[in-house]
Amino acid sequence: MKTVLSGIRPTGSLHLGNYYGAIINFINMQEKYNCYFFIADWHSLTTHPDPKTLHVNVSGVLSEYLACGLDPKKSTIYIQSSIPEIAELYLLLNMHAYLGELEKTVSFKEKARQNPQNINAGLLTYPVLMATDILIHNADFVPVGKDQEQHLEMTRNFAARFNHKYGVEYFKMPAAYIHGEDELIKIPGLDGSGKMGKSEGNCVYLLDEPKTVEKKVKGALTDNGPEGENTQKPDCIENLFSILRAVSTPEVVKHYEGLWDRGEQRWYGSLKSQLAEDIIKVTNPIRERINDIRNDTKYLARTVEEGAVKARESASKTLRDIREIMGFKPF
């Protein structure tokens, strides 16, 4: 059975980008694959979160994941920091990760530019920790959004380098899970630029009330309408269509693509109402389930305890093998 693994940093509520990049595929895979799902709390430390909010965020993301339909009976759900084997493998893999390649990572350069006063070693070796998460279970597939593509590529490099160095074929080459298409998905923000992201402040959250979703979508940036037939869409309009393609039916998408291609005017209001309605169809059931789950602290505790036991079983086996391959021997 193939292994699938996905992770998310606990830095706040989940948004539509997280859902389409890392969750939705997962929900349908739980029967067919050996699924690991974890909360990457060590990864969130690069920005030094307030100790008072770390646990709240971990617990919040856990609840939201369960509300999305992750099932602890079918998948292994755990918190990264409860698996000490990850820390040890991270140390070992760090010896085979080079400064040049780490410094060239797009996410490192971006974060270093945004926060020049906090370029810490954890930020530099972030891709090694992420590779460790994946390799510790020798995952075959990793459902991620487009923004994580380079980290996946680096994971394959680290895995291949390790195999080559020690003359083994131990690590598999994990593939980014592709959402039924040739490209990884990128859900854009509502502000006409880049991807939807917490730090960008352009998100629709899974827990947003319908009224809030409507307001956010209504306020999304648009232009003055197509300037003729079959013109190229500006970023702000293409972004709305990207979200529409994720949440709506192909017929709905075709209808609005037709309006654009024919150069028709005055339909952005209708597009936005439809978009809001279809987003709400996705988010409503999740929002309705969340309160029960969030308040069931026993269920949450049992989920991560059982998850940690299962995850550690697999992680400690990998670590034993890796120690042996690298020459650690008991006296």
Question: Among all residues, which ones are annotated catalytic?
Answer: 111, 195, 198
SS3 212: helix
Q: How far apart are CB 189 and ligand TYM at their closest, in Å?
A: 7
Q: Which is nearer to ligand TYM, 129 or 259 (CB)?
A: 129
Q: Which is nearer to ligand TYM, 136 or 319 (CB)?
A: 136
Cβ burial 253-279 (10 Å sphere, 16+ → b, else e): bebbeebbeeeeeeebeebbebbbbbb
Hey, what are 283's tokens? 């988010």
Q: Which is nearer to ligand TYM, 85 or 133 (CB)?
A: 133
**Residue written as tokens 């490192």?**
108
Q: How far apart are CB 133 and ligand TYM at their closest, in Å?
A: 4
User: What residues form DSSP beta bridges with 35?
Assistant: 4
212 Cα distance to chain centroid: 23
The Cα angle at residue 71 between residues 139 and 129, in degrees rounded to 5: 35
Close Cβ partners of 275 (under 8 Å, ≥ 6 residues apart) = 217, 240, 243, 244, 247, 248
Binding residues for ligand TYM, per CB under 6 A? 5-9, 17-18, 20-22, 40, 43, 130, 133-134, 142, 144-145, 147-148, 185-187, 195-197
CA proximity to 155, closest of 123, 133, 124: 133
Q: Which is nearer to ligand TYM, 76 or 259 (CB)?
A: 76
Q: How many CB atoms lie within 10 A of CB 109?
A: 11
Q: How far apart are CB 262 and ligand TYM at their closest, in Å?
A: 30
Amino acid at 91: L
Q: Which is nearer to ligand TYM, 108 or 259 (CB)?
A: 108
Q: How far apart are CB 242 and ligand TYM at their closest, in Å?
A: 9
Q: How far apart are CB 154 and ligand TYM at their closest, in Å?
A: 11
Helix (H) or strand (E) holding 7: strand 3-8
Q: What is the DSSP string of 68-82?
A: HT--TTTSEEEEGGG
